[in-house]
């Protein structure tokens, strides 16, 4: 899966889970500042990413994620593991 494919999947997840308009989701988008996600939402997002990648996400791997680009990079790391 390339960056654009991961971005499209992430847009779908954010729309379905948090009702966020897909056009608001770009690699530069900040999850907490721009999309108003909170720590509970981050847990929900991590669960959705686990479903997407079929890999368990370690909490320490997700704590430094701030932007959509960070999520894309994390998905690539998970899929490579």
Q: What is the pLDDT of residue 32?
A: 94
CA distances from 68 to 21, 43, 60 (A): 14, 15, 17
**Could you tell me the pLDDT band of residue 6, with boundaries at 50, 70 and 90?**
very high
Domain range spanning residue 63?
Answer: 3-80
Give the count of domains, the chain: 1
Q: Which helix (H) or strand (E) holds 57?
A: none
pLDDT tens-digit series, residues 20-29:
999 999 999 9
pLDDT tens-digit series, residues 38-72:
989 988 999 999 999 998 887 777 788 999 999 99
Would the pLDDT of 16 be above 90? yes
CA distances from 56 to 20, 25, 44, 79 (A): 25, 24, 13, 10
Q: What is the pLDDT of residue 23?
A: 96
Please state, as a whole number, how many other Cβ atoms lie within 10 Å of the Cβ of residue 47.
13
* CATH number assigned to the domain comprising residue 37: 1.10.1200.10
Task: Read off the pLDDT of each residue in 3-13 and give the average, rounded to a whole number.
Answer: 96
């Amino acid at each position: 899966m390339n960056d654009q494919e991961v971005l499209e999947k992430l847009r779908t997840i954010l729309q379905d889970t948090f009702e966020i308009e897909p056009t608001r989701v770009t690699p530069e988008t900040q999850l907490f500042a721009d999309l108003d996600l909170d720590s509970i939402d981050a847990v929900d997002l991590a669960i959705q990413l686990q479903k997407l990648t079929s890999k368990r996400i370690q909490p320490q791997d997700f704590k430094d994620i701030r932007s959509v680009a960070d999520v894309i990079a994390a998905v690539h790391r998970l899929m490579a593991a």
